[in-house]
Amino acid sequence: MNKFLTLFCFSVFFAQAKIENILLIVSDDLKADALGCYGSQVARTPNIDQLAKQGTLFQNAYCQGTVCRPSRASFMRGRYIGKEEITWGEHFQKNGFSSTRVGKIFHMRVPGDIIAGTDGQDIPECWSAKYNMAGKEAHTPGNYACLNLNKFTTEMKDRQSTQMPYRMFVTVDYVGDGSDQPDWKAATKSIELLKQFKKDKQPFFLATGLVRPHYPNVAPIQYFSAYPFKQIKLPFVPENDWEDMPKAAISGSNSKRYGIHKFPENQKRMWAGYLATVTYMDEQVGRIIRALKELGLAQNTAVMFTSDHGYLLGEHHFWQKGNLREEVTRVPLIIKSPVNKPGISNSIVELVDLFPTACEMVGVQTPSSVQGSSLLPILKDPKKQVKNSALSFIPKGTSMRTEKWAYMKYKDGAEELYDMKNDPKQFKNLIVNDHYSPVLNKLRNQFKTETKLISFR
């Protein structure tokens, strides 16, 4: 009887709940497998993991742009390649919502615009209010390292920073509580705004952009201490891994080019620094989500958590982003809806789907310019599908990810094909294997159809 009563109350709650607000939280350069809820046995991310338990976790979500600027322009316009179309915030403002940005949503240079406290390539029309979160970044006093140069110092001079060639290999740990960092400030400001939104009683769209774990990996020393670098296991890379990759697929950001191949211990330090800032970022997410609940806003606010793209930390001896490897194109995506039960979805989805999902959640018509699909059917039933593939782009080519296959087509005509069920790390390019000719021909036709379709929308 008690079990029946519990289920009845649960059903009544979901039936009565209504979504009035949207909270979008965007982490920067966050690879999906750096979160506990995505299978990491090392990362400490209790707040995001808890959000995943309370919402729908999308196992197969993919970005469209593979670096910051095009990805953010894409999902904020719901377009595969966003240009001048109406933005999410503009559309919501036209429909009676406030639209507020905290931190980095459209592209900002990290660290450049963070140090300067400037807007970067923001779209002012998207927001009814906006707030930048400044920080010292690599110039934070503390233990500085430039790991590809094997340089360690506490001196402030000659640190790799804005527009400098090795800034992506910088870590800084220091004594402090983290309240001086941009992400702490972003969480604090978001909480202040949530309190104000509750008083105003106007429906809101709040977009909070957190800059970690984007380089430089800066955090208080206690976050680094949670990841002793000597205990880090580097990703396996087969011998001659690049041998079956076309030239266009080989990242210019690789271990040998930057010299970090000479320092395996420093590669472990890179992982430790990245994970330290993931955990620091996770704590800021937790602060915001707790405030939402404490203010009584969780019952009518949908929460979306994601990243602009993934990241490489030595997989295939590649670093950073800007290519079509799975570690870059796959992103974390969690949507917590007060009107839907928690679940896990294996369906292919894309970041262009966020804007139309938000529209349908709050009962606003989706703009005709939007190319994405609402994910509400999946939120209602995680076994549902809204599309069969995801597209991701770099200047040299395009990838198409289906449930089983990853197919890449480059502008010079080169191709890659990977069986993602049997080869999830993409070590064996099947493009020259005649056994897969029927699969390849089918994927080529699908690729041609889908890329042509989006170009005419």
**pLDDT tens-place string over residues 202-236:** 999 999 999 999 999 999 999 999 999 999 999 99
pLDDT digits (tens, 9 = 90+) for 203-212: 999 999 999 9
CB of 401 within 8 A of CB of 426?
Answer: no
In this prediction, residue 454 carries a pLDDT of 86
pLDDT digits (tens, 9 = 90+) for 362-389: 999 999 999 999 999 999 999 999 999 9
In this prediction, residue 6 carries a pLDDT of 45
Mean pLDDT of the chain: 96
pLDDT-above-70 percentage for the chain: 96
Tell me the average pLDDT across 63-91: 97
Tell me the average pLDDT across 249-274: 98
Q: What are 145's strand-pairing partners? A: 152, 171
* DSSP, residue by residue, 420-439: TTT-TT-----TT-GGGHHH
Task: Give the pTM.
Answer: 0.96
pLDDT digits (tens, 9 = 90+) for 403-453: 999 999 999 999 999 999 999 999 999 999 999 999 999 999 999 999 998
SS3 47: helix
In this prediction, residue 9 carries a pLDDT of 46
The CA distance from 366 to 385, in Å, is: 19
Q: 330 to each of 133, 170, 318, 449, how far by Cα in Å?
A: 27, 24, 16, 22
pLDDT digits (tens, 9 = 90+) for 65-76: 999 999 999 999
83 by Cβ neighbours in 10 Å (0-12 / 13-18 / 19+) ranks as exposed
Report the C-alpha dihedral over residues 374, 377, 379, 381, rounded to 10 degrees.
-160
CB of 409 within 8 A of CB of 391?
Answer: no
What is the radius of gyration, based on Cα positions, of the chain? 22
pLDDT digits (tens, 9 = 90+) for 164-193: 999 999 999 999 999 999 999 999 999 999
pLDDT at 161 over 90: yes
CB of 288 within 8 A of CB of 47?
Answer: no
Quote the DSSP letter at residue 64: S
Q: For domain 2-456, say whether CATH 3.40.720.10 is its number.
A: yes
CB of 40 within 8 A of CB of 274?
Answer: no
In this prediction, residue 351 carries a pLDDT of 98
Confidence band of 2 (pLDDT split at 50, 70, 90)? low
Confidence band of 1 (pLDDT split at 50, 70, 90)? very low
The CA distance from 29 to 310, in Å, is: 5
